[in-house]
Amino acid sequence: MERRSVSSSMIRSIGYEDSNSTLEIEFNSGVIWNYYDFPLSSWYEFDAAESHGKFFHSSIKGHYREAQVG
């Protein structure tokens, strides 16, 4: 999955795979997590968020099935 860099104190890059509704986040620590069944509309909100970290904590973490992949 292709990710793009973001300006965030906790997140290095983000990407989304529309074909399987998977969000991928690379954190500044280098760890990569996937979040499954992530709606496309939420991807657009996350991508446009003023603070990716705040959006992650309020709307992603604990809300979707997840797995560390790297």
Task: Encode pLDDT of 3-18 as tens digits.
Answer: 999 999 999 999 999 9
Instruction: Domain count for the chain, please give it.
Output: 1
Mean pLDDT of 24-37: 98
Q: What are phi and psi of 34, to 5 degrees?
A: -110, 145
At 70 the pLDDT is: 87
The range of the structural domain enclosing residue 42 comes to: 4-68
Q: What is the pLDDT of residue 1?
A: 87
DSSP 4-64: EE---SSEEEEEEETTTTEEEEEETTS-EEEE-S--HHHHHHHHH-S-HHHHIIIIITTTS
pTM exceeds 0.85 for this model: yes
